[in-house]
Amino acid sequence: MTRNAAIHDFARVGAFVAVVTTGALVTMWLGLDGLVQSVPYAIGATVLLAVGLFASTAGIDLDEARADIRIVVLAVTVGVLAKTAIISGVMWVVFRRPEMVLLGVVVAQIDPLSVAAIRDRSGLSPRARTILSAWSSFDDPITALLTVYLAVWLVAGASSGPLALASGTGSVVVQVALNLGLALVAYGLWKVTGGARPAARRGLQLGVQRVLLVGVAAAAVSKLLMLGLALSGLFLRPRIDRFLVWATRIAFWLAALAVGIGLTHGVGLWAGFVLGVAAFGSQCLVGYALTARLPRADRIDLALGHQNGITAIILALLLEPKVPGTLAVVGPAIVVVNLLHGVTNGVWARIRRPPDTDETVVPQPGSPSSGRSIEAAA
């Protein structure tokens, strides 16, 4: 992250806090405290999650991702479990309450909406940018599945609300199968409509693929099949980059407003602070450990890359009806994580050696020199 980018990041964190505060004040002023329990709120948050998730996967340079597939796979498997264990362990040691352990899963992921929103201003190398985008895209649905099913295990007998989805479908295996099924159906229809051939990138076929994308997104939102949507973003890319630029930016600020709305039910400042520090610290440890083969600058950038946003919000919303107080803790934790992200990246921008010429990754012959960025298309 350059110094100018660090200044932008600080400003963005300040704006985030201001929007959160505004959301809380307006909600209390209008007496809308029950909004977080409403169906429109849950649907709206899920739509925002879908926007960020698809934007992040659609922005992945597949050639670059293949080159670092080992890191990405480790990040969304070993990395997710390791981060969850670290955060949950800290919460258990400090609070000794089972529900606090569950919150470790809620904030373990790197939010794809936040990554997409700052990607154009970051100083990440193309390789690190691609890894972070892929990491944030796929640890997101994995932590969503973990959260729902751990919550069902923790809160036995859930029969209503969002948690009923898990108890009604039977098992994690069923949910994974449904997600993969959605992605496979989307892939088959994408191939039928022309796939990635030039003819499918314009005219009627392009319009059909855009309609297909809307259908896949609607199915993902209605059934919480976020892994299927993430996988679809790897191939279903019907030239909507400019729309995604604005959609991700708008969605990010709407998500910040949603945080404020949730905080009107109470604020667990101490628990939120501990959770936020544990979440960011876990990324520092795991992110640096999993990227041992990368240049030092990229390793530090990825270690300091943890952010939380709408992903943690929607998971908190899923838990709130059965685990009261979730929003009160997760809300402040999101603010803490984003503040830590801004501060640490600002410090790193000052101490790193510009332009890190000794650690620049030299592209291999025939490989792309930079990742595909949605923001760059704007």
Asked whether residue 365 is assigned to any structural domain, the reply reads no
Mean pLDDT of 90-103: 89
Task: Please tell me what DSSP assigns to residue 78.
Answer: I
Give CA–CA dist 132/1, Å, rounded: 14
Give CA–CA dist 361/348, Å, rounded: 19
Q: Is it true that the peptide bond before 355 is cis, omega within 30 degrees of 0?
A: yes
Query: Who's near 243: CB < 8 A, 6+ residues apart?
Result: none
155's tokens: 């809160």
87 — pLDDT class (breaks 50, 70, 90)? very high
373 — pLDDT class (breaks 50, 70, 90)? very low
Q: pLDDT tens across 168-226, in order? A: 445 667 878 888 999 999 999 999 888 776 655 567 778 888 899 999 999 998 888 88
User: Residue 280: pLDDT above 60?
Assistant: yes
User: Residue 353: pLDDT above 50?
Assistant: yes
Give CA–CA dist 294/377, Å, rounded: 27
Residues in the chain, total: 378
The alpha carbon torsion through 145, 146, 149, 151 (nearest 10 deg) reads -120
Q: pLDDT tens across 282-308, in order? A: 999 999 999 888 888 889 989 998 988
Q: What is the CATH number of the domain that holds 60?
A: 1.20.1530.20
Domain region containing 212? 3-353
Give CA–CA dist 273/330, Å, rounded: 9
User: Residue 349: pLDDT above 60?
Assistant: yes
Asked whether residue 214 is assigned to any structural domain, the reply reads yes
Asked whether residue 38 is assigned to any structural domain, the reply reads yes
User: Residue 163: pLDDT above 60?
Assistant: no
**Which has more pLDDT, 31 or 216?**
216
CB 236 within 8 A of CB 216: yes
DSSP string, 11-37: HHHHHHHHHHHHHHHHHHHHT-GGGGG
Asked whether residue 361 is assigned to any structural domain, the reply reads no
Give CA–CA dist 24/204, Å, rounded: 45
Element (H, E) at 349: helix 326-351
Number of domains in the chain: 1
Q: b or e along 189-210 (b: 16 or more beta carbons within 10 Å of the residue's beta carbon)?
A: bbeebbeeeeebeeeebbebbe
CB 119 within 8 A of CB 59: yes
Asked whether residue 377 is assigned to any structural domain, the reply reads no
Give CA–CA dist 88/82, Å, rounded: 10
349's tokens: 């921008």
- The whole-number pLDDT of residue 356 equals 46
Q: pLDDT tens across 35-78, in order? A: 767 778 778 877 887 887 788 778 777 777 777 788 888 888 89
Q: How many CB atoms lie within 10 A of CB 171?
A: 10
Residue written as token pair 């099924």: 181
Asked whether residue 197 is assigned to any structural domain, the reply reads yes
Asked whether residue 364 is assigned to any structural domain, the reply reads no
Q: How many CB atoms lie within 10 A of CB 351?
A: 7
Give CA–CA dist 65/136, Å, rounded: 13
Give CA–CA dist 183/170, Å, rounded: 20
CB 276 within 8 A of CB 331: no
Per the prediction, the chain carries an average pLDDT of: 77
**% the chain with pLDDT above 90:** 18
